[in-house]
Structures are given as structure tokens and as C-alpha cells.
Structure 1
Amino acid sequence: MNVAVDEFGKPFVILRQQEKKRLTGLDAHKANIMAAKAIASTLKTSLGPRGMDKIIVSPDGKVTVTNDGATILQKIEVEHQCAKLLVDLSKSQDEEIGDGTTGVVILAGALLERALRLLDKGLHPLRIADGYETACDIAIKRLEEIANEQDESYSAEKNGEIYKKAAYTALGSKVVSSCQDHLADIAVNAVMAVQDKERRDVNLELIKIEAVTGGRLEDTCLVEGIVLTKEFSHSQMAKTVTDARIAILSCPFEPPKSKTKSRIEISTVEDYEKLQECEKNYFENMVQRVVDSKANVVICQWGFDDEANHLLMKKGISAVRWVGGAELELVAIATGGKIVGRFEDLDESKLGRAEVVREVATGTEHQEFIFIEKCKKTKSVTVLISGGNGVYVEETKRCIHDAICCVRNLVRDSRVLGGGGAPEIAASLAIEAAAVKLNALEQFAVQAFGEALLEIPMALADNSGLNVFDMVAKAAQMQQTNCHVGIDCLRGTVGDLRKHGIFESLHSKIQQLSLATQVVKMILKIDDVICPTEIQ
């Protein structure tokens, strides 16, 4: 294996076997593992509160600055088939949990690195896979024991402050850490506003995240309602409507179009005037139906003809056009209204209700937004993010999403663990104790899994500029009496990070272990890489 750099200075791995079109047996195992390890090593420096960010430049020149594992892997180009499995692994963690996308890839890379050593010693890949499965079960069981043994004050269900502390932890490694207390409050309040207490779940589609370029991060706020990136369709329409009665339309303010290939021939001025009069009557009829329904705000999925727009303005009705289907549904949910597909069906019972609908121009670019606030059913909320530039705002959106997902996980399962790599160290010690009771061959793979778990606290210490082995050894020694001791990256020491409000969701940790183990087992069972050109 050699390491080279491309014309942009980006390092990449060259495998000796890559000249061959087909790899089989141990060569295939090694090539697959090396490719996956290269992906994991890319993310290792991004882990933890002292982790570094990456700049990713797309082919069209768009710049992304982030330390979110899923975003990094999503935006880089990966060609190797097994390396793509780690990209999918991070994506699965992001979709299911929302947080821990970097840690799960680092863990998978560490497991593959240990597997490569065992393969060189002659251990069969299936033996390694079975040993990893056994060790994963031991680790999950140990983490559940730790979570269940804690005092009730460490349960989010009993202590609501845990929600904020978990969100605070999720934001600690992000570029927004200087404002993490304020953003943690927003994340918790957003989830609490839309949670389903009976099902113990949260529909994240009910939480809308909008961004405005300009202003300070501290100006980020939670709107109890919907924010649309739109403006009223006519400059003379009222910019603020109180006691809003909202007609939500999925039909256009336009004359009907023929469904067949036909045309209208106009040969005289009188014919043209008749057509114009017919269209005007049609628009007046549509607008009159809106007036009869007692609506004073119209939100439409499609466009308006200029004539209809003028008539709405004359009737004192404020209107918004070209609203997306997903946003239209959120407006209906929040206001308690019904989406109307035909003007004939519009009546007062279909209208949504909100105390205030207003148009606001904000940010350095004076971007217009429509605020629909204090709705009849506040079951939809919007996080409005402010930031200095577009790149910063986009990263803030990802940070808020991670924090919201972290709180959502605690709504599903209120059990938490201490942060700083404490769960991984505790699980590693449990695996080490259990391994001595197993047969010799299985023991190797189980012990390797325990060693791989220590990569997480080691990466945390390394990224914080601490002595890696000294910190991890101290933490492991102190865990003999307190299983919550981890690496305190901010203070450069070891200790029980629960005292400093650093928490992680048990559900997230279990998911990381399970997903990483499944992907590693899949890679270990691949012994042949066949190119399509070889199949004749």
C-alpha cells in the first residue's frame, strides 16, 4: 500500500492489487478493509468538542464547512464498493438517530483494522465475524446495565433538565458551540411542542428549519407556527393580518385550460373583448367565493393571474402564492384548516385560524418571510436561524438538526449515559472480563472488539491535544469504582462528565454498536470483487 496526493493535495490510498481487475480470497479482504479504513481515518480528527472541521468543495465550486460525519461522506466522491458501505452506514445512523454519525464510522474502521491483524494471523473471517457479534451483545448488555443502575435524576423522563443537557452535548462539538446554551433551549422547546406523548415519538417533519443570511447567531429564534420563505403577492396588500382566517388552496387562480389539443380563433375586437370579459367574470367568481368564505388570507400552491391578484388586493385579502406542497400541509396542520382542491368546495369550515399573519423583511439581504403565528393548533414550529454568511448558516442548520434528533431520541428512550467515551471504556472492560471465559479462537475476535471500542476515547483525547494512552489508562483505572468516568476534553482531565452536564442517549450508543458491527460483518464476508466487464 502507498499513499499519494492528487493535484489538489488531497491524499489517497493506492493498493498494490488495484491493477488486477479481480480480487479474491485474502487479497479481496485486505483491499476492502484498506478502502474502508481510509474513509474512517478521514473522519477521526472531526470527533469530539475539539474536533476539526472539513472544507469540501463541490465540482461546481460550492464550499461546505462542516464536521458532521454524514455530511462529509455524502459530499465526497467515493468509488470503492466497500468504502461506499461506510458512507451508507453513516447515512443510516443519520436517518435513524440523527447524531453519532462520525463515531459510528470511526468504530467500524477500528473494527476492520483489528480484523486485518487477525486475518494476517490466519484467523478465518467468519470466526472474526462471530466473535464481533458476541462482543457486541456483551457491550450492549453492559451499557443497558449502566443506564438502568443510575439514579432517577439521570432519567430524562423524571428530570426534564436532561433534555437540555443532552442537546447541549450534541452542540458542543459544532461550530456553534459559543451559543450552544441558547440553541439547546430552542431544540428542546421545538421537540416538546410537537411530541406525541402517547406514542413517545416525535415527527420531525413538523419542525421546519429556515435560515436568513445576516444578523447574529444569538438572534436565532423559535416561532410557534410556520415561517414561509415567501412574500405577499401584491405590494399593496396588508403586511400584517390579525385574527387571520386562512384559505389553503391547491387550485390555481387561473382560467381553466382545455384538456384536448384545441385553440380559440379571435378575428375581431368584439371577440377579444368577450374573451376578456369571460376571464374577468371567472376571476371575480373565484375571488367572490373566497370573500363568501370570510377568509382574509389566501395561501395557494400555484400562481395567480395578474387580474386575480388585483381583485384580491381590492377586496382586502392578503395572498401568498407558489407555496410548496409540504409547506402547505404544515400550514394546514398548524392552523387546523383543510387543503381545498376546488373553489366550489371552499367554505368557512375549511379555513385555518391564526392570531397573526405578517410579512417580515430581515437579514442583510432583506429577505422576505411570511410568519403564521399563534395558530389554532400549535403542532408545527419553525426554527429561524440567523448567521453571518451562507456557509455558516447551513452548518448551523445541520447542528440544530443534530440537537433536535438527540432530544427526540430521549423522548423515545429516556435513559442516558455519561459522555467523554465513558460508555466505550466501560463496554471494553466488560468485554475483556468476558473474553477469558470463551474458547481460544473466539477469544481473539472478542478481545479485538474491546480494543476497537477504545478508539473513541483515544480519538477524543488525541483531538484535544492530550496524552492519549495516559488519559485512557487513567479513565480505565478509575472505572473500577465509577463506570461513568470519561475523557474531559474541555478541562484536559478524566472524570465523571455527568457532573458537568455531558450526556449521550443510550439508544444512540446501542444503535452505533449494532450498525457498525453489522457493516463490518458484511465486509468480512466479501471474498471476491468482480467487475462487470469480466462477465461475458
Structure 2
Amino acid sequence: MSAVGQLVFDEYGKPIIILKDQDQQKRLTGVDALKSHILAARSVASILCTSLGPKGLDKLMVSPDGDVTVTNDGATILKMMDVEHQIAKLMVQLSQSQDDEIGDGTTGVVVLAGALLEKAEHLLDKGIHPIRIADGYELAAKKAIENLDKIAEEFIVDVSDKEKLVLTAMTTLGSKIINRCHRQMAEIAVDAVMAVADLESRDVNFELIKVEGKVGGKLEDTMLVKGVVVDKDFSHPQMPKELKDVKLAILTCPFEPPKPKTKHKLEVTSVEEYQALHTYEQEQFVQMVDKVKAAGATLAICQWGFDDEANHLLLQKELPAVRWVGGPEIELIAIATSGRIVPRFEELSPDKLGTCGKVREISFGTTKDRMLVIEECPNTKAVTIFIRGGNRMIVEEAKRSIHDAICVVRNLVRNNKIVYGGGAAEVSCALAVSEEADKISTLEQYAFRAFSDALEAIPLALAENSGLSPIHTLADCKARQVAEKNPALGIDCNSRGTCDMKEQHVIETLHSKKQQILLATQLVKMILKIDDIRTPGGGEMQ
């Protein structure tokens, strides 16, 4: 049995597949199937096209629960879209893979893939076989990447001079909703990465960067905390709001009396039995607190909760505590304070305690929301970006934007080659691919020219989104790149009066640009090789 039907054999032993519900199935083959794929992919790309660049527009999405999200991050838009067509789903995955690998360029990669498929449709209409188109695209992508390597420049990552890194992060944030405090956010992203980066092995541990957000205040109140911010407060309102020279017991065991691990029930039949049980519980609480105090801890951080009785006892014994701290936060606190996570009270000892200079509780506005800040930790590599904003939507978008900026700075630490943005790299590659097409005598020259035209879709979209005349602006940019032999000339989206992206400091990582071209080409090649769709009546494609 297969997913679609049953295998039977005739009298000569030849297999025949009997398909289920064949009368209800719709089938597209050959060029019709390819045109269906291309239409689906282009419709997805056209939605994202208007979000490209610093003047790109945002999209407002409403979830089935009524939650509103406003963003122009390509991966987020596609993730939240309700996509039915399987090829459109591939476009969503394309954007997601760019986000996972690079963290930036999620809109550009989808726009490029849509443009490549649009140009492939014109070639199919001319009667060129899809395999020849796919092969031509692959060769053209290699040529484009060669050209990127040629025009790339070395970027020196220097902890003492972070200006260039800040300018690169500002390029990423230029199209985001938070560009009102453009430079501040870029500096926070750079400082966070530099705090956790290992420049010798050229690696950045993302686990050490935590991004927290709280509604209230304004974006300018966003700050970088050299330590950990936990969205909890002290378990009792009368506990001190600030502690200094703290020794932390990091516990994953609850402040509760041990429960019998059997299926037997404990029945209390008299007042005396109840009082004996209560006395036993009290003794257990006291023992637990005494063990923590005996180890020398001045603050208990517990993954689980504890009841009011235990809470009151902690206050009496002058042991401040925090309860219901999540697993990731517990791990981060342990890393930052050089402490050990203790699963049982019996295992608690002075050498397993974490240390930090200060733990303070901060409150916000009139809502009295409270959070804990653990600062002056021995391991200064753990940092928290604490984002403020007028509403939840702004805070969430700021988190996504900061994530993109952090990813770009991380990529520069790993691979310090850069190209110039604003469509400059795409125009340069388009010219190189077009030039190569003139040297080819086979049918692939058509695919090369189509690839060159598709690369121009990104500068065209940038110009259109900036309110410029797309064709005139692109033609001028191409002519100047050829005449001046300057691959840094792009689209002046911000109306600065110069098209030289080097002067405007619009910088992108080489790795990101290469990845965009490679991922888009691979997806398009795969789509061009699918020539048969069988759709069950009213269902999705198999």
C-alpha cells in the first residue's frame, strides 16, 4: 500500500497502481504545473516586495486570537501568513532558513527567488526546457558569487574601535520600526555581541545574550545590562529591595516537605494526627532554610514555588528568595554568577554558591510591575538587552530588530568580509552575469540574462519603495557603475545626495549576500524540476 493507492499485479506479473478517488483528483502536468508553481511563488514575493529597504512599508497581521503584529521582517510576515499552496510554503521555509543561518536578509531572499521564477516563466514561454533554465541559473549564481568575492572588502573587527560595527548594525536597523533611536540600538547590539564574543576562535555564544522586554516607558529607555534581568520579584513584599555582595543558592528543588513516592494515601483521622503532620512539615521547612543559611547563601533562587508558610519562614530567617524562575533563566544566572545548579538540599555546599555584586528590584510606572536585575557578576560575558516600549507590539518588533542586528554583528565576527548595500552588490553582480552571458554560445545564455534581470529586482524594489522612478534610477546606477568602475554605487534610498554606499556607510556582510543568492537559486532550481501536481478534491497537493 502507498500513500495514494494500492499496488496490484496483472497476469504477467506487471505492477499496476490503482489510485484512490481518481475521479475527484485534479492533475496538472508539464508547463501548466510549472506555471502554477511560479504564480504561487510570485504572489508571495509580491507581498514582501513593498517591505524591502529603509522606506519599505510594514505589514499588519491579525492572528485567529485577535493578536495584532506589525512588522516588516520577512521571516515573521511569512511565518504568520496562512499559506495553503505547497510552493508558497517552500518560500516560507526559504525565508526561515535565511533567518536561521544569517538572521538578516529574509525579505531580499524571497524577492530574489520570486524574480528568478518570473524570468524563468518568460523562458518557458520561449520553449526552453526547465532543466536548461535551472542549469543556467546555477552557473549564473556561481558567477555572481565569484563577483561578490571580487568586490568584497576586508572588515577589521576591533574591540577598541566599534564604529564600523555600529554602522553595519545601523544598516540592518534602517528599515525597522525602531530606527527612531537608530544609533542607540545599534550600539547596544554591538556591545552585547562584543561582550560575549571570543575573537580568537571567532565565535559568539548566543546563549549568553538574553533579550527581555517590558511594556511601558519609551524605546530610548532600552538598556544593556551586564548581568541577568529576570521577570520576577522577591517572593515576599517585605524582603529588602536591594542586596549587595550576594551569595546565591540556585535551587531546582521545591521548598516543600517530601511526598511519599507510593500509591498509598495518607489519611488523617484525628486532630492529633493533623497536628503531628503540621509539626513535621514545619520541621522540614526549618531544616531546608537552615541548610541554605548554613551554606552561606544570602539569596535563594528557586525554580519551583513555595507556599505562604515557607515564604513567611524565609522572611523570619532573613533569607530573601525568588520563586518560579524558568529553566533558561536559571542556567543563565548559574553561568553569570559562576554558581552550580543544586537539585537537592542535601547537596548544597558553600563551593556551589554563585556570587554577584548587586541584586536589585526595579519597578515600572504606575503598574508596579517588578523585575530583578543581577549585576556585577564574575562572568561578565552574560548580558541582557532590556527593551522598553509604549505597547507590546513595539516591544516585540524591537526584539526582532535587535535580533537581526545581533546576528549581523555575529556574522562579521565569524567572517569579516563586507559588500555595500542599497542594491549596489546586486547591480554589480547583474552586470558581471550579463557580461558573462555574451561569452556563452549555448542556450544557457538566456538563463544568464534572465538571472541578471532578476538580480535587478532588488534595486528596482528599493527605488520604488523610496518614491524614486525605478527604471531611471536603476539605469543611472548601472551606467555609473560601468563608467566609474565603482561597485559601491547603489540606490540613494535615504535621499542623502550621493549614490556611493561607501560614503553613506550602508554595509552588508558578504556571507549574508552569498547565502541569499545560493538559497534563492537552489529553491528555484528545485521548483523548476517539479512538473506534476496531483491534488485530491478540495485537499492539498501530495
Same fold (TM over 0.5): yes
Distance 1:424 1:335 in 2: 47
**Which stretch shifts more, 20-29 or 169-178?**
20-29
8 Å CA contact 2:25, 2:535 repeated in 1: no
8 Å CA contact 1:136, 1:517 repeated in 2: yes
User: What secondary structure is seen at the aligned counterpart in 2 of 1:495?
Assistant: coil
Distance 2:493 2:157 in 1: 24
| RMSD between superposed Cα atoms in Å | 1.7
Name the residue aligned to 2:533.
529
Deviations 1:439-493 (A, max 9, x none): 3311111111111000000000000010111111111111122111001101175
8 Å CA contact 1:214, 1:364 repeated in 2: no
Name the residue aligned to 1:231.
233
Distance 1:92 1:367 in 2: 37
8 Å CA contact 1:474, 1:494 repeated in 2: no
Name the residue aligned to 1:244.
246
Deviation of 1:353 after TM superposition, in Å, equals: 0.9
Distance 1:50 1:211 in 2: 26
Q: Is 1:273 aligned to residue 278 of structure 2?
A: no
Deviation of 1:200 after TM superposition, in Å, equals: 1.0
Deviation of 1:161 after TM superposition, in Å, equals: 2.0
Q: Is 1:509 aligned to residue 513 of structure 2?
A: yes
Q: Is 1:325 aligned to residue 330 of structure 2?
A: no
Deviation of 1:137 after TM superposition, in Å, equals: 0.7
8 Å CA contact 2:162, 2:190 repeated in 1: no
1:18-417 equivalence runs, <5 A: 21-147=26-152, 150=153, 154-156=155-157, 160-363=162-365, 365-417=367-419
8 Å CA contact 2:148, 2:510 repeated in 1: yes
8 Å CA contact 1:142, 1:427 repeated in 2: yes
Name the residue aligned to 2:14.
none
8 Å CA contact 1:356, 1:373 repeated in 2: yes
8 Å CA contact 1:213, 1:364 repeated in 2: no
User: What secondary structure is seen at the aligned counterpart in 1 of 2:419?
Assistant: strand
What is the one-letter code of the residue matched to 2:406? I
What is the one-letter code of the residue matched to 1:95? D
Distance 2:338 2:244 in 1: 17
**Which stretch shifts more, 497-506 or 74-83?**
497-506
What is the one-letter code of the residue matched to 1:369? M
Deviation of 1:258 after TM superposition, in Å, equals: 2.2
What is the one-letter code of the residue matched to 2:144? A
User: What secondary structure is seen at the aligned counterpart in 2 of 1:479?
Assistant: helix
Deviation of 1:75 after TM superposition, in Å, equals: 0.6
Deviation of 1:501 after TM superposition, in Å, equals: 1.6
What is the one-letter code of the residue matched to 2:267? E
8 Å CA contact 2:388, 2:395 repeated in 1: yes
**Which stretch shifts more, 193-202 or 409-418?**
193-202
User: What secondary structure is seen at the aligned counterpart in 1 of 2:200?
Assistant: coil
8 Å CA contact 1:56, 1:65 repeated in 2: yes
Find the partner of 2:460 among 435, 454, 458.
458
Name the residue aligned to 1:489.
493
User: What secondary structure is seen at the aligned counterpart in 1 of 2:255?
Assistant: coil
What is the one-letter code of the residue matched to 1:94? D
Distance 1:429 1:364 in 2: 59
User: What secondary structure is seen at the aligned counterpart in 2 of 1:385?
Assistant: strand
8 Å CA contact 1:303, 1:321 repeated in 2: yes
Deviation of 1:520 after TM superposition, in Å, equals: 0.8
Distance 2:168 2:533 in 1: 43
Distance 1:78 1:342 in 2: 48
Distance 2:505 2:315 in 1: 54
What is the one-letter code of the residue matched to 1:266? V
User: What secondary structure is seen at the aligned counterpart in 2 of 1:243?
Assistant: strand
Runs of 4+ in 1 over 3 A off after TM superposition: 154-160, 531-536
**Which stretch shifts more, 358-367 or 441-450?**
358-367
8 Å CA contact 2:300, 2:322 repeated in 1: yes
8 Å CA contact 1:214, 1:386 repeated in 2: yes
Unaligned runs of 5+ in 2: 1-23
User: What secondary structure is seen at the aligned counterpart in 2 of 1:46?
Assistant: coil
Deviation of 1:203 after TM superposition, in Å, equals: 2.0
What is the one-letter code of the residue matched to 1:35? A
Deviation of 1:364 after TM superposition, in Å, equals: 5.0
What is the one-letter code of the residue matched to 1:34? L
Deviation of 1:386 after TM superposition, in Å, equals: 1.0
What is the one-letter code of the residue matched to 2:364? T
**Which stretch shifts more, 108-117 or 362-371?**
362-371
| Number of aligned residues | 514
User: What secondary structure is seen at the aligned counterpart in 1 of 2:40?
Assistant: helix
Percent identity, please: 56
8 Å CA contact 2:255, 2:310 repeated in 1: yes
Name the residue aligned to 2:474.
472
8 Å CA contact 1:466, 1:492 repeated in 2: no
Deviation of 1:197 after TM superposition, in Å, equals: 2.2
Unaligned runs of 5+ in 1: 1-18
Deviation of 1:188 after TM superposition, in Å, equals: 0.2
Distance 1:388 1:301 in 2: 30
Deviation of 1:169 after TM superposition, in Å, equals: 0.6
Deviation of 1:198 after TM superposition, in Å, equals: 3.0
Distance 2:168 2:365 in 1: 30
What is the one-letter code of the residue matched to 2:151? I
Distance 1:532 1:38 in 2: 23
Deviation of 1:532 after TM superposition, in Å, equals: 5.5
Distance 1:363 1:117 in 2: 59
Distance 1:299 1:361 in 2: 19
Distance 1:372 1:298 in 2: 13
